[in-house]
Amino acid sequence: MPSDRVSRLLQLITLLQTRTGWDARSLSRELEISTRTLYRDLNTLEAAGIPCRSEDGGGYRIQQGFFLPPVSLSASEVLGLMQLTRFVGPQRERPYHGHALSAIYKLISSVPEPLRSTCGEMLAHFSTLADPQLGTDRESEVFVQLQQAIGMGRACRLVYGSPVENGAMTLEFDPYLLHHVNRAWYVLGRSGLHDEVRMLKLIRIEELTLLTRVFDRPTGFTIDSKLGKAWRMIPEGKEHDIELEFTRRVATNVSEVRWHESQSHRLLADGRCVMKFRVDGLNEIAWWVCGYADQVVVRKPKKLREIVAEMHHSAAALYDRQ
């Protein structure tokens, strides 16, 4: 959400808090925007759970008692909350998006003037580019259903569109927990069809039916107990010591990020970087290594070196054929 719009929404909230009887024309004039833009802003606040409506010809107002009493926040805390609206704003399909925005706006709106206005002006000097998001609200719908199922310990019947199966498959599923990784939500639980714990992507769940059957989650089950030392989310049952050598061109960039809990690195005198990991499985990290193309060489293990080399050969052959 652009900073000027965040500031304008906060100004709109302030106007609706400090005075009653605002009609669309007077609000538009005060904010120096078109009536059409005003209605869009009002709809945004409604979607965030802030009840600002025009009732009985009395003009727009925010429901009495909606906001919190004044909260003692520092300028840095207010700016932090304002910045959060930029991350939450574009993610409208995410679970509890509206509730999160509502909570943030409640906190910001409880801050007294002139601190709130000053922070709003400072926000104009910040810029944020949101990460790519899923283009559907299906994930959010399924998230709520699965959360209820987990809370009640109830099994589900799923129709799941697996990318590696021929068509959708139907299975009974005992959901244990929800996990967010790689910009998407997944559910971990026992699949009756496979008789083992599986991780399913929420956006691929085509149908979900809550069953009457209840289940007990295994004692001590955690995300770490399932994923272990996997690079991201697919353990393969065998751990490997990985050693990679990055060129000077990307060495600083790659060493600035904490990619894995086992990570260690050292910068060489000529600017290159050697990174080491201990990872369960090779295929996931191979895709990541290939993303650096000719700027990285696999020192070990030999098997990972062969996988990455084959991927590069296949990619080159694909271009040759075209």
Mind giving me the DSSP string for 172-188? Answer: EEEEEEEEEETTEEEEE
Sequence-ordered list of residues with C-beta below 8 angstroms from that of 152, at least 6 positions apart, any chain: 214
> Does one domain contain both 171 and 145?
yes
Yes or no: say if 297 and 244 are a contact pair by the CB < 8 Å rule: yes
50/121 same-domain check: yes
Q: What is the pLDDT of residue 305?
A: 96
Asked which of 171, 206, 227 is the last residue of a domain, the reply is 227
User: What is the Cα–Cα distance from 283 to 2, expressed in whole angstroms?
Assistant: 38
Domain tally, the chain: 3
Global pTM?
0.63
Domain C-terminal end among 227, 248, 265: 227
The CATH number covering residue 282 comes to: 3.30.70
The rounded average pLDDT for each run of 10 residues, N- to C-terminus, in the chain (322 residues) is 64 72 81 85 76 69 63 71 64 59 68 68 62 66 90 94 84 93 88 92 93 91 88 92 97 94 95 96 96 95 96 92 78
**Cα separation, 137 vs 265, whole angstroms:** 40
Distance CA 161, CA 140 (A): 17
Give yes or no: residues 8 and 120 share one domain: yes
Residue 150 forms part of a structural domain: yes
- Give CA–CA dist 77/14, Å, rounded: 19
Same-domain status, 93 and 118: yes
Q: What is the pLDDT of residue 1?
A: 46
Distances (CA, A) of 74 to 12, 58, 127, 240: 22, 35, 21, 47
Q: Same domain, yes or no, for 17 and 51? A: yes
Q: What is the pLDDT of residue 126?
A: 62
| Integer Cα distance of 254 and 247 in angstroms | 10
- For residue 233, being part of any structural domain is answered with no
Q: State the residue range of the domain holding 259.
A: 239-321
Q: Does 89 lie in the same domain as 201?
A: no
Burial (CB < 10 A; 0-12, 13-18, 19+), residue 276, is middle
92 shares its domain with 187: no
Considering the domain boundaries, does residue 315 fall inside one? yes
Per DSSP, the three-state class of 55 is coil
Name the helix (H) or strand (E) containing 78: helix 75-88
Same domain, 121 and 213: no
CA dihedral of 231, 235, 238, 240, whole degrees rounded to 10:
0
CATH number for position 198: 2.30.30.520
Could you tell me if 254 and 316 lie in one domain?
yes
Residue type, 72: S
Q: Do 209 and 295 share a domain, yes or no?
A: no
Tell which of 83, 104, 125 closes a domain.
Answer: 125
Under 8 Å between Cβ of 249 and 295? yes
Q: Is 86 helix (H, G, I), strand (E, B) or coil?
A: helix
- Same domain? For 20 and 112 the reply is yes
Kindly report the length of the chain.
Answer: 322
296, 250 Cβ separation under 8 angstroms: yes
